[in-house]
Amino acid sequence: MRKREALFSVVKHARFTVTAAVAMTILYTRSPQVLWTAAGGVACSFVAKLLKTIIRQPRPSIVLEKKVSSPSTTSPPHIITRIFSSHTHGMPSSHTQVTAYFATYFTLYYLVLSPHNPHPPTKPSTAASGILIGLNVFGLIVAWSRVYLGKHTVAQVGVGWVVGTVFAAGWYWAWRWGGAAELVEGWCRMVGFVQ
């Protein structure tokens, strides 16, 4: 049980892992599309916060019970029950929403024709397949961990996954067909971001 809890406590800090990976990728590639993708992650997070303030559904309460033996040998042990509840809202799960956004956006990038990927392979390379599978599995682990750790209900995680996926599809559409590519690339050239 402790190994599982250790794994989920690492996953609990997914936002730091994702933020660091995205920041390093932006600095390394200096790519307008990577910058756009990262901006989408931030926007998706803001959408989650906005939805939480509109929906205002509480997070689940956590009930912990501990059996305590009494100092007297004649008294039976008793159980102490503690109920923990958060003062923040839980619908939708922002962790799940943002990881679903990144998993979906990268899946669309690798599998859909685009100006930057004019001939996607009918069968993605082993590396691309591994990245896509890894991102999607990571997203599912994050989603499951939110329920396992008692931070969200299954419904809150499910809504987060759906909203993140739909947001990613819209964000990808804006890049590919909505004119965002030209706008962001022009801005990046103007400020000297691209090499």
Show the domain range for 135: 2-58+89-191
For residue 81, tell me if it sits in a domain: no
Question: Given this model, what pLDDT does residue 111 score?
Answer: 79
For residue 135, tell me if it sits in a domain: yes
Rounded CA gap, 192 and 24, in Å?
Answer: 18
Higher-scoring residue by pLDDT: 86, 192:
192
Which three-class secondary structure state does DSSP give residue 1?
coil
Burial of residue 145, with CB atoms counted within 10 A of its CB: 0-12 exposed, 13-18 middle, 19 or more buried: buried
For residue 101, tell me if it sits in a domain: yes
Burial of residue 138, with CB atoms counted within 10 A of its CB: 0-12 exposed, 13-18 middle, 19 or more buried: middle
Domain count for the chain, please give it.
1
Instruction: Name the pLDDT band for 106 (thresholds 50, 70, 90).
Output: confident
Q: Tell me what the pLDDT averaged over the chain comes to.
A: 79
For residue 26, tell me if it sits in a domain: yes
For residue 109, tell me if it sits in a domain: yes
For residue 165, tell me if it sits in a domain: yes
pLDDT > 90: percent of the chain: 21
Q: Is the pLDDT of residue 1 over 90?
A: no
Rounded to an integer, the average pLDDT of 172-183 is: 89
Instruction: Name the pLDDT band for 172 (thresholds 50, 70, 90).
Output: very high
